[in-house]
Amino acid sequence: MSDRSGSLRALPAVDRLADAVLAGDPAVTHAEATAAARAVLAERRVRLLAGERDDADLVALARAHLTPPLRRVLNGTGVIVHTNLGRAPLSADARDAVRAASSGYANVELDLGGGRRGSRDAHTRALLCELTGAEDGFAVNNGAGAALLALAALAGDGRAVAVSRGQLVEIGGGFRIPDVLAQAGARIVEVGTTNRTRREDYERAIGGQGAELILRVHQSNFRTVGFVEEVPIAQLCGLGVPVIDDVGSGALAGALPRLADEPDVRASLAAGATLVCFSGDKLLGGPQAGLLVGRSDAVERARRHPLARALRIGRLPLAALVATLAMYRDPERARREIPVLAMLERPREALAAAARRLAEAGGGEVVDAIGRVGGGALPLLELDGPAAALAPAGWRAEQLAEALRRADTPLLSRIFDGRVLVDPRTLDAEEVREAEGVIAATIAAGPPAPAPGP
Ligand SMILES: *Cc1c(COP(=O)(O)O)cnc(C)c1O
């Protein structure tokens, strides 16, 4: 008989493996241990039948199978709006609001005064109007959804939409403006050139090519520099057709010099934009959400469009969003307490002190590093500040970065110049303490044994 069937026969019975899993962890129930044992045994069988050699410890695999796949991590990358790490961390207020709204029921669609059915939008409408100067507004599931819905509502009947060739961008995850227009049911009229688009180009699109709408899209994750020209929003709004302005990130805090490059929602509306859309979890610093604000007739059309139901925001993000927006009533408080805004302005001395502690935990040194905003915002902005550079003896940088990622509380770092950098900009005070612990314990455990030679 083949070696293969031999190793198959050597696999433990489900119950025996489940008992071994149970023995190590009193929090696991019998049914959970059995499910995990079954899953890893099935996987092992497939591998063995495929002729692969696999002798990883089944008990450890089954335990790993039971650890939740989505976990809290420590972001030591220095990238503030890190899409792979869930973008914006929430403020304390927003976290409290989520806890409250998830602890039982919540009046998501109930008017408590009248006791009648209410609208999910009622929670955000007044705040959005107050903060942006819009006549009306509401939230959907994400920024991409907001842009799609705005286009579908105002141009989904096949209308021609003028878009500058310099703004036909891909945001990431396959979100490409020409495709979004097509999905929305609109027809695209490309205007101008990649680097220069002028007012006359738009006028020709409207007069000669029948464009009935203008879409402006913030370039977000790239910049054209040098011999460039775009038409300011105020001029676009004077061309006699409705303008949808997808500003991307939605800077609402004002007066943050580092955000001066981001288009301002309030300014777009004041200039006369019909609908402005932006993300909730980029520089707004809230949960994943997309916001649509603007003229009441246009917002109402978006609200009544069938896609609105498919894109509606969930109860927990809604709670976090309302709490986040409310903080902007006091812009100074927003800048202090909304994590992404606070991280942008973290004082150098505080960063230096944290970097020193992180460096000491790993026997490294403090270096000057460059952080990023990330999340498709401000691609050229470099946030320079001190970071801890770790290069303990016996470790390769990739090995250490991996070991830190595999810690009980994973710590994400970046590798620069053969060393592991841990950037304190994206860690709060408590997280710096946790990161110190992770670094010290990981290095104390030693580098992984070298793989056996061939
Ligand atoms: C990020 C972005 C989007 C998509 O928003 P998500 O919140 O990522 O869905 C759409 N348009 C622009 C201009 C963006 O920058």
What is the tens place of the pLDDT at every residue in 69-123?
999 999 999 999 999 999 999 999 999 999 999 999 999 999 999 999 999 999 9
Q: Name the closest-CA residue to atom 5, ligand 1.
A: 143
Question: Does 142 sit in the ligand 1 pocket, CB within 6 Å?
Answer: yes
- 36, burial (CB in 10 Å: exposed 0-12, middle 13-18, buried 19+): buried
The whole-angstrom separation of Cα 412 and Cα 123 is 36
In tens, the pLDDT along 325-346 reads: 999 999 999 999 999 999 999 9
For 393-408, the pLDDT digits (tens) are: 999 999 999 999 999 9
Which CATH class for the 92-334 domain? alpha beta
Give the gyration radius of the chain's Cα atoms: 26
Would you say 233 and 243 are in contact if contact means Cβ atoms under 8 Å apart? Answer: yes
Q: What is the pLDDT of residues 202-235, one digit of tens each?
A: 999 999 999 999 999 998 888 889 999 999 999 9
pLDDT tier at 66, thresholds 50, 70, 90:
very high
Please write the tens of the pLDDT for every residue from 268-312.
999 999 999 999 999 999 999 999 999 999 999 999 999 999 999
Ligand 1 centroid from CA 277, angstroms: 9
Ligand 1 close to Cβ of residue 317 (< 6 A): no
Our answer on whether the CB atom of 91 is closer than 6 Å to any ligand 1 atom is no
pLDDT higher than threshold 70 for residue 2: no
Ligand 1 atom with the smallest distance to the CA of 83 is: 8
- Backbone φ and ψ for 190, nearest 5 degrees, come out as -75, 140
374 lines ligand 1 (CB under 6 A): no
Q: How far apart are CA 99 and CA 442, in angstroms?
A: 33
Assess contact for 376 and 217: CB atoms under 8 A.
Answer: no
- Per-residue pLDDT band for 454 (boundaries 50, 70, 90) equals low
- The residue contributing the CA closest to ligand 1 atom 8 is 143
CA distance 334 to 317: 18
Output the pTM of the full model: 0.93
* Residue 264 Cα to ligand 1 middle (Å): 15
Question: Does ligand 1 come within 6 angstroms of the Cβ of 77?
Answer: no
Do 389 and 366 meet the contact criterion of CB atoms below 8 Å apart? yes
Give the residue-averaged pLDDT of 16-44. Answer: 94
Q: Is the pLDDT score of 6 beyond 80?
A: no
The verdict on the CB of residue 218 being under 6 Å from ligand 1 is yes
Nearest atom in ligand 1 to the alpha carbon of residue 247 is 13
Nearest CA to ligand 1 atom 10: 144
Cβ-defined contacts of 344-353 (< 8 Å, 24+): 344/80, 344/256, 344/258, 344/259, 344/373, 344/383, 345/256, 345/258, 346/385, 346/425, 348/385, 348/386, 351/385, 351/386, 351/424, 351/425, 352/385, 352/386
Q: Which fold has domain 74-83+340-445?
A: Aspartate Aminotransferase, domain 1 (3.90.1150)
Q: Is the CB of 143 under 6 A from ligand 1?
A: yes
pLDDT tens, residue by residue, 154-205: 999 999 999 999 999 998 878 999 999 999 999 999 999 999 999 999 999 9
By C-alpha distance, which of 307, 124, 5, 421 is closest to 411? 421
* Cα–Cα distance measured from residue 284 to residue 330, given in angstroms and rounded to the nearest whole number: 14
Beta carbon of 248 within 6 Å of any ligand 1 atom: yes
Mutation choice for ligand 1 from 140, 167, 171, CB with most ligand atoms inside 8 A: 171
Task: Give the per-residue pLDDT at 24.
Answer: 77
Domain ranges of the chain: 2-66, 74-83+340-445, 92-334
pLDDT at 1: 47
